[in-house]
Chains A and B, each alone.
Chain A
Amino acid sequence: MPVALEDLTRGAVCIGLYPFSLGFPLHQVVRESAEEIDASLEEHVSIEFEKTVQPEDVPEVVVRLKLRRVLLLQDATHGGRRDVIVAPITSLKPHQRERTSWYERLLRGQIPYLYRLTEQQQGVTAEAAVNLANVTTVSRDTLLRWTGQLSEQEMRTISEKLIDTLELDISGRLDALR
């Protein structure tokens, strides 16, 4: 059920289970809810459902899960690594588009932590944005379906936005190149 290893390339857009807490026994939920999740993925609808799981550390946990699109910021095709860093993708709501100056900045690519997606090959069916302010690590097993792939150029733009969003210091590298 998880996405095939060879499809987990940098820039892939996948539907994953949320919340993304590492160490949480999501694999158990995936196993026990396979039919329900499969049906939702086929219909391309977001699902929300509750599951009761029994991890070792606590007697019982009731968890509400939903499917959410994420962008892979790293290549995860190597079988030896079980986790991968992703950025969640969020659908734009009508009231957000009504913030005219904010929306125009988004259209011009000027919001440092957001990258706008509109095309089907980008793995979305409606206008959405990659939220680079909420980058997180997920278990590869919770990525359930591949829906698209961003280009090298798009990932280059996202990398530049990550420099601002994650407040990375690249001065040493720039100095070395001068």
Chain B
Amino acid sequence: MTKPRLPQLNAVPDVVIGRAIQDPVFRYALLGAKTAEAIRSSVWDELEVQLSDKAVQQIQNLDTGQVDQALAAVKDGAPSAQ
């Protein structure tokens, strides 16, 4: 039912991005993973989501500084509740 007919803008599923934004433990486990397999199993274990090769590549290209910068866009990383 999700994203009918439209291409996904992010190869990394929104739910993975959102968890990384909201959960520092998951964020650092994800960004600290050294191999593609470690990234895949981190995401599967936590969210039951399978990542594509492109998604894994995008995650490998991210660093904590970039994510921290994104979080700084929202003072405490807390979005609206609705």
Do A and B assemble together?
no
